[in-house]
């Protein structure tokens, strides 16, 4: 497949993009002191070098009231210009265009200020923001005018920093959308009421920005074609607004997405997880393309070039947003253009280290490609000073990454896996409903090893004696973990099984099941979905304060909504104590008072893992270099395993 359309040039306002692939604005948390950093430069340059046609940088605050979190870059001070100029020059060096995103969250205030206090949540009208639980203060007219000028002044700074244009962020229920939405805008002045008035804030932003940046720069608009929530803008309302902007020849393009930050249901579309169909926003973009004359960009789970080519062939959009695809594989454009489709490291939409890192205030990364966000340290492989014989024991994600990196650096690497298939626990993850795509991490890492020249031996059980006899220079132990079963009072009188047995269909569960969940992760939720879809009554009892606390919220929230719809019952703060023939007993985690689940046929225990340490124990006194990584070091997740593999593979 030659991707003729995907790699055809495209122009907006006389500025040409070398192809139709772009990276949409997304917060990296690589800023420091609210200013761009060298790490941010390296991050964007990696994607420009990788072949993207356009990069839209992350949301940039246009006014001091535009506080979202401490890592949001500041665009309303001249101090931002040198850092943004460094990014622009690094991107332009690779024949890639760059557009800066202008942002005011309005009432969508998620963060706490550096002094620990909460910022004021400004908006068009008084209301209660549902998701972040804030009270909205109506903007006085003077502040509206000041913020509009802030958009224009920030745009001027980005153009001074040598950007090709700017994009007004009006999607996901942020401030311009709040003015547009009649349910959040109850004003009775010239900014409220009929559509013309509710559009005024956005049109005045456009006009002020255009005056500042001139006629030769791009001014685009990011918009949710449907906010997908009861209180949000519906598709027809958005179409009416975009038609009005189009007829007035305002904005050069519409960058189309879905969802709203205002509710958990709407927010699930901001970064849709693997349960959502790929390319699902394209039909919404197509409608705007049919109804307006603006250039149309589209995003939304487009993780392979075939999907992008399909959207272009159907004339649903003019440019294709492949944002997480490029977080996972910065070289996806170059690989696609070169016909190296098997080499693409496809995004699996797990959301764990990209938007998941944002949720825990850590810099962006990827569980499959931890080099992302760490380009300054790991962006370029450094050849080993001298090749060494490396034995990797364990073929899960951590072992595979360690082997690939070490071999790529010039070491002689052999990986041994006890099972007949590579993948470790990732093979379990893909067996649960809606998690099938997780198996992509195995395919992708297998390809990395193949390209690096790793010798892979499956069905090979390695002991300490065998290691000593083989005599490698370095041993990397990636033997993983086994399922942990805690002591359960009365277990012999009850039907008790562990999570792995259920996932692998090795046991039969009764009609009424209780899941004891200690991890608060995808296993508990996945087990609940599997069992309830099999027709069983399911109660998920977790030691945490809520189910799925360790699952990224754009994945967790819609998942729990679906489980609730299916009838799963949730009990938080539940510490497993014991069981008998028909009842499971818990203690409340804060009061130690008893919690009982009567009428239970089967107890499924999902209480975490324990490291397999036989090999590391057996080599404790060996005088050669030994490293334990992943769950063999400490039971965690695939993210830590792959990162451990990168670090060890880079250091030996």
As given in the structure block, the two tokens for residue 511 are: 């009609």
Q: For the chain, how far is it from start to end, CA to CA, in angstroms?
A: 39
Q: Which residues pair with 100 in a beta bridge?
A: 166
SS (H, E, C) 289-347: HHHCCCEEEECCCCCCHHHHHHHHHCCCCCEEECHHHHHHCCCHHHHHHCCCHHHCCCC
Neighbours of 617 (CB within 10 A): 10
550 burial type by CB count under 10 A (0-12 exposed, 13-18 middle, 19+ buried): middle
648 burial type by CB count under 10 A (0-12 exposed, 13-18 middle, 19+ buried): buried
How does pLDDT run across 490-533, given as a tens digit for each residue?
Answer: 999 999 999 999 999 999 999 999 999 999 999 999 999 999 99
How does pLDDT run across 290-313, given as a tens digit for each residue?
Answer: 999 999 999 999 999 999 999 999
Report whether 476 contacts 392 (CB < 8 A): yes
Report whether 218 contacts 99 (CB < 8 A): yes
Rg (CA), the chain: 26
As given in the structure block, the two tokens for residue 506 are: 């090795």
As given in the structure block, the two tokens for residue 11 are: 């122009």
pLDDT at 185: 98
pLDDT exceeds 90 at position 72:
yes
pLDDT exceeds 90 at position 110:
no
At residue 651 the predicted structure's pLDDT band, cuts being 50, 70 and 90, is very high
At residue 2 the predicted structure's pLDDT band, cuts being 50, 70 and 90, is confident
As given in the structure block, the two tokens for residue 426 are: 């990732």
The Cα 612–Cα 376 span in angstroms is: 33
Give the pLDDT mean for 550-575: 97
Comparing C-alpha atoms, which of 585, 22, 497, 651 is closest to residue 297? 22
Q: Which residues pair with 320 in a beta bridge?
A: 21, 298
pLDDT at 255: 98
In the numeric block, the tokens 């890592």 are attached to: 71
Whole-prediction pTM value? Answer: 0.97
- The residue annotated as part of the active site, out of 43, 67, 174, 191, is 174
At residue 538 the predicted structure's pLDDT band, cuts being 50, 70 and 90, is very high
Q: Checking DSSP bridges between strand 15-17 and strand 10-12, what pairing results, if any?
A: antiparallel
At residue 70 the predicted structure's pLDDT band, cuts being 50, 70 and 90, is confident
Q: How far is CA 559 from the centre of its chain?
A: 15
The Cα 209–Cα 149 span in angstroms is: 8
The Cα 360–Cα 519 span in angstroms is: 17
pLDDT at 183: 97
SS (H, E, C) 480-491: CEEECCCCCECH
How does pLDDT run across 201-210, given as a tens digit for each residue?
Answer: 999 999 999 9
In the numeric block, the tokens 């893992």 are attached to: 609
Three-state DSSP state, 46: helix
pLDDT exceeds 80 at position 111:
no
In order of 416, 439, 467, the CA distances from 396 in angstroms are 10, 11, 19
Comparing C-alpha atoms, which of 321, 415, 332 is closest to residue 369? 332
pLDDT at 114: 82
pLDDT at 71: 86
Comparing C-alpha atoms, which of 415, 397, 479, 398 is closest to residue 452? 415
The Cα 78–Cα 100 span in angstroms is: 15
SS (H, E, C) 47-92: HHHCCCCEEEEEEEECCCCCCCCCCCCECCCHHHHHHHHHHHHHHH
What are the residue ranges spanned by the domains of the chain? 10-377, 384-483+611-651, 491-607
How does pLDDT run across 570-625, given as a tens digit for each residue?
Answer: 999 999 999 999 999 999 999 999 999 999 999 999 999 999 999 999 999 999 99
Three-state DSSP state, 588: strand
Which residues, 6+ apart, have CB-to-CB distance to 195 below 8 Å? 240, 241, 244
The Cα 173–Cα 223 span in angstroms is: 9
DSSP one-letter string for 386-431: S--EEEEE--SHHHHHHHHHHHHTT-EEEEEESSSSS-TTHHHHTT
The yes-or-no answer on residue 151 being catalytic is: no
Query: In CATH, which of 3.30.300.130, 3.20.20.70, 3.40.50.1950, 2.40.110.10 is domain 10-377?
Result: 3.20.20.70
Comparing C-alpha atoms, which of 99, 141, 101, 146 is closest to residue 124? 141
pLDDT at 112: 82
Angle in degrees, 0-180, between the axes of helices 553-566 and 522-533, rounded to the nearest 10: 30
pLDDT exceeds 90 at position 124:
yes
pLDDT at 115: 86
Domain 384-483+611-651 is of which CATH architecture?
3-Layer(aba) Sandwich (3.40)
Which conformational region is residue 490 in: left (phi greater than 0), alpha (psi within -120 to 50 degrees), or beta?
Answer: left
pLDDT at 489: 95
Alpha-carbon torsion (25, 26, 30, 31), positive or negative: positive
How does pLDDT run across 271-290, given as a tens digit for each residue?
Answer: 999 999 999 999 999 999 99
How does pLDDT run across 627-640, given as a tens digit for each residue?
Answer: 999 999 999 999 99
The Cα 560–Cα 510 span in angstroms is: 23
* Top-tier CATH class for 491-607: alpha beta
The Cα 491–Cα 607 span in angstroms is: 15
- The reply to whether 491-607 shares the fold of 10-377 is no
In order of 387, 517, 641, the CA distances from 317 in angstroms are 49, 44, 38
Q: Which residues of 307-337 are buried (b: 16+ CB within 10 A; e: fewer)?
A: bbbbbbeeebbbbbbbbbbbbbbbbbbebbb
Q: Checking DSSP bridges between strand 165-169 and strand 10-12, what pairing results, if any?
A: unpaired
The Cα 163–Cα 56 span in angstroms is: 10
């Amino acid at each position: 497949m030659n991707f003729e359309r995907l790699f055809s040039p495209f122009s907006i306002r006389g500025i040409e993009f070398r192809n139709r692939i772009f990276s949409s604005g997304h917060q990296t948390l690589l800023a420091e002191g609210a200013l761009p950093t060298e790490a941010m430069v390296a991050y964007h340059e990696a994607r420009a070098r990788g072949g993207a046609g356009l990069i839209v940088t992350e949301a940039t605050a246009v006014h001091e009231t535009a506080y979202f979190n401490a890592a949001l870059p500041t665009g309303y001070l001249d101090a931002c210009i040198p850092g943004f100029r460094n990014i622009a020059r690094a991107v332009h060096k690779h024949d890639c265009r760059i557009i800066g995103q202008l942002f005011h969250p309005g009432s969508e205030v998620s963060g706490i200020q550096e002094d620990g206090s909460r910022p004021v949540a400004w908006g068009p009208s008084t209301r209660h923001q549902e998701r972040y639980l804030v009270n909205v203060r109506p903007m006085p007219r003077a502040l509206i005018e000041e913020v509009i000028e802030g958009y224009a002044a920030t745009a001027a700074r980005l153009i001074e920093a040598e950007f090709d244009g700017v994009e007004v962020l009006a999607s996901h229920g942020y401030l311009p959308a709040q003015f547009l939405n009649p349910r959040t805008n109850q004003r009775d002045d010239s900014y409220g009421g009929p559509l013309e008035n509710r559009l005024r804030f956005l049109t005045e932003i456009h006009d002020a920005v255009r005056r500042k940046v001139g006629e030769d720069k791009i001014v685009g608009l990011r918009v949710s074609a449907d906010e997908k929530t009861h209180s949000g803008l519906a598709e027809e309302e958005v179409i009416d607004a975009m038609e009005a902007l189009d007829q007035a020849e305002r904005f050069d393009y519409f960058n189309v997405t879905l969802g709203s930050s205002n509710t958990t249901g709407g927010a699930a579309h901001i970064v849709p997880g693997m349960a959502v169909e790929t390319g699902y926003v394209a039909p919404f973009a197509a409608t705007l393309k049919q109804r307006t004359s603006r250039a149309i960009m589209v995003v939304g789970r487009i993780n392979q070039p075939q999907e992008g080519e399909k959207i272009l062939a159907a004339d649903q959009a003019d440019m294709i947003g492949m944002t997480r695809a490029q977080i996972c594989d910065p070289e996806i454009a170059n690989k696609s253009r070169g016909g190296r489709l098997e080499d693409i490291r496809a995004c699996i939409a797990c959301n764990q280290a990209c938007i998941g890192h944002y949720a825990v205030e850590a810099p962006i990364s990827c569980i499959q490609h931890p080099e992302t966000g760490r380009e300054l340290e790991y962006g370029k492989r450094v050849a080993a000073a001298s090749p060494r014989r490396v034995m990797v024991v364990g073929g899960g994600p951590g072992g595979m990454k360690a082997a690939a990196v070490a071999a790529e650096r010039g070491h002689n690497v052999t990986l041994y896996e006890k099972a007949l298939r590579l993948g470790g626990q990732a093979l379990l993850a893909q067996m649960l409903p809606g998690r099938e795509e997780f198996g992509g991490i195995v395919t992708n890492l297998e390809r990395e090893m193949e390209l690096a020249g790793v010798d892979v031996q499956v069905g090979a059980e390695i002991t300490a004696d065998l290691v000593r006899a083989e005599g490698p220079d370095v041993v990397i132990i990636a033997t993983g973990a086994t399922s942990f079963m805690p002591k359960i009072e009365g277990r012999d009188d009850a039907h008790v099984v562990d999570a792995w047995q259920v996932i692998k269909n090795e046991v039969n569960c009764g009609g009424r099941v209780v899941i004891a969940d200690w991890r608060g992760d995808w296993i508990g939720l996945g087990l609940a979905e599997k069992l309830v879809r099999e027709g069983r009554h399911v109660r998920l009892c977790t030691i945490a304060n809520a189910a799925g606390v360790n699952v990224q919220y754009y994945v967790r929230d819609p998942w729990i909504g679906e489980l609730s719809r299916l009838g799963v019952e949730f009990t938080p703060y539940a510490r497993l104590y014991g069981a008998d023939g028909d009842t499971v007993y818990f203690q409340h985690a804060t009061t130690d008072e008893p919690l009982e689940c009567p009428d239970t046929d089967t107890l499924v225990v999902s209480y975490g893992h324990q490291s397999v340490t036989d090999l590391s124990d057996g080599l404790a006194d060996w005088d050669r270099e030994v490293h334990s990584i992943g769950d063999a070091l400490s039971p965690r997740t695939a993210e830590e395993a792959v990162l451990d593999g990168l670090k060890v593979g880079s250091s030996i």
